[in-house]
Amino acid sequence: MAERIVMANSKGSATGMAFYGLPDQVDAQRLLEIAQTFFVDLGLKPNTVSYSVKLPQNARGEDIGWKKADISTLREALATEGAHDFYLECVPPKSSQWICSASFLTTWFLADKEEYDNAGRLVCTYYCADSAQLNRIFMRLAREMDDLTRTPYAIAYEIDGDLADVSSYANADGFLTIFKNEDARAWKTQLPLGSRNVPKQYVERMRMVYPCNLLGPAHLAHTIEGGSLYDWIHAASDRGALEALASGGAVWTVAPEHLERINSILGEAGLLIGWKPKPSALSSRRLPG
């Protein structure tokens, strides 16, 4: 299947926020509270709720299912039944399409805990009103996630598409890109879920540069043009703005009109996992004869 490119749109587009590298031992009850405040920010309530449960293994070797619930039941299940992963969505009356969702997914159910820890992710999707709303909501979530888990990396992005596309991009299904010079498969192949090196790899490089980026201290210390990324961002107003977090990281916001140029600079510097270099003139030149 050929990869699809969904171009960035600054207003009225489907929006996603993905917080990566969450430990399996994260407080899922507190994470549920954070997810609920995401809905509150939008003036919505989740009306579809489910959580993952262990089942007898079927013929295909699958032993995980999803159990429908309400918020109270989910909260109790997280506290007493050993439930962990959950999914919330808001579906308007007389519609089959959700307009807002929040999901927490890990690999907690796999046998080798050491091998698969720290691969969890919280993904939120909704239809964004404007860039100011995106920045505000992401900043609040980033602060809460930073306090809860010292989240190593997170992004917020806008695409022309529906919320299924937003989720697909967050989960790196391999066929969607936002930027022209983006490799649709690099994020998943270079950061395989289930690798014990996931936390280290998340802080080594960014996926791409988005309107909002939660960066850790190691990201900000990367060398670019003879200095740190932190200093490089502060050196010019068109490189965006940094807002510090308690963990020593920061939220980096970038205006949409500067994303292509900044991605090109950081991509060519080797700081972006998703960057796909342009073919060089030398590689496209035909050999004589």
pLDDT at 268 over 60: yes
| CA–centroid distance for 184 within its chain | 14
pLDDT at 241 over 90: yes
pLDDT at 112 over 50: no
What's the pLDDT at 82?
A: 72
| CA–centroid distance for 6 within its chain | 16
Task: Give pLDDT tens digits for 6-55.
Answer: 433 333 489 999 998 887 778 999 999 999 999 999 999 999 999 988 77
Task: Give pLDDT tens digits for 134-157.
Answer: 999 999 999 999 999 888 899 999
Q: What values do phi and psi take at 157, rounded to 5?
A: -145, 160
Closest CA to 216 of 231, 230, 233, 227: 230
Q: Are the beta carbons of 139 and 243 closer than 8 angstroms?
A: yes
pLDDT at 259 over 60: yes
Q: Average the pLDDT over 155-173 and give the result.
A: 89
Q: For a pLDDT cut of 70, what percent of the chain falls above it? A: 81
Domain ranges in the chain?
Answer: 4-275
- The mean of the pLDDT values for the chain is 83
pLDDT at 269 over 60: yes
- Residues near 94 by Cβ (< 8 Å), separated by ≥ 6? none
Q: Average the pLDDT over 181-185 and give the result.
A: 91
Q: Are the beta carbons of 23 and 151 closer than 8 angstroms?
A: no
Task: Give pLDDT tens digits for 223-237.
Answer: 999 999 999 999 999
What's the pLDDT at 240?
A: 97
DSSP assignment of 186-254, as one string?
HHHHHS-TT-TTHHHHHHH-BS---SEEEE-HHHHT-EETTEEHHHHHHT-GGG-EEEE-TTS-EEEE-
What's the pLDDT at 118?
A: 61
What's the pLDDT at 63?
A: 67
**Rounded (5°) CA angle 277-278-282:** 115
Q: What span, in angstroms and rounded, lies between the C-alpha atoms of 134 and 122?
A: 16
pLDDT at 116 over 80: no
What's the pLDDT at 107?
A: 66
Q: Are the beta carbons of 149 and 157 closer than 8 angstroms?
A: no
Where is average pLDDT lowest: 104-113, 149-158, 241-250? 104-113
Q: For a pLDDT cut of 90, what percent of the chain falls above it? A: 57
Cα Dmax for the chain: 74
pTM of the model: 0.86
Closest CA to 73 of 65, 81, 62, 61: 81
60 versus 218: the higher-pLDDT residue is 218
Q: What span, in angstroms and rounded, lies between the C-alpha atoms of 34 and 86?
A: 13
Q: What span, in angstroms and rounded, lies between the C-alpha atoms of 11 and 278?
A: 29
What's the pLDDT at 68?
A: 95
Q: What span, in angstroms and rounded, lies between the C-alpha atoms of 109 and 226?
A: 45
For residue 69, what pLDDT band results from cuts at 50, 70 and 90? Answer: very high
Task: Give pLDDT tens digits for 275-284.
Answer: 998 766 444 4
For residue 121, what pLDDT band results from cuts at 50, 70 and 90? Answer: confident
